[in-house]
């Protein structure tokens, strides 16, 4: 597996997520380990302006297509703030293990997250971001 690259965060996304963490998301339904993982990514990540943010990197409200390694099946999800999460609409919280694994990483990169059957590796196949 390739070395995990440095995550890239848009400054405005970082500010929103960081404020959410400060306001009690540490007690999120996903537990402190997930929150600590997100905070660790923030610490090693690179903050960039909206204009400098790459179009193929996952951010808040990104629509992402991932593929599990060793399987042909693809999955499409949207990474959102916790209050917007809705599994039926495939909107996944940035505080969920999959959200933490994806945010800040881009097309072609491999990510890993915990699923009920253990850790799974996925490749980010496509990232769709609205320009704002």
- pLDDT tens digits for range 22-46: 776 545 566 677 777 777 878 888 9
Q: Is the dihedral of CA 101, 7, 106, 70 positive or negative?
A: negative
> What pLDDT, in 10s, does the model give residues 117-132?
788 889 999 999 986 6
pTM, two decimal places: 0.87
């Amino acid at each position: 597996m390739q070395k995990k690259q440095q995550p890239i965060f848009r400054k405005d996304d970082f500010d929103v997520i960081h404020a959410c963490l400060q306001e009690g998301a540490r007690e999120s339904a996903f537990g402190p380990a997930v929150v600590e993982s997100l905070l660790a990514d923030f610490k090693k990540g690179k903050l960039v302006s909206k204009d400098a943010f790459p179009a193929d990197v996952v951010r808040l409200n990104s629509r992402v297509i991932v593929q599990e390694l060793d399987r042909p099946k693809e999955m499409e999800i949207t990474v959102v703030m916790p209050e917007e999460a809705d599994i039926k609409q495939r909107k996944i919280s940035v505080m969920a293990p999959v959200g933490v694994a994806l945010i800040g990483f881009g097309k072609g990169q491999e990510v890993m997250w915990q699923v009920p059957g253990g850790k799974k590796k996925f490749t980010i196949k496509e990232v769709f971001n609205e320009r704002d």
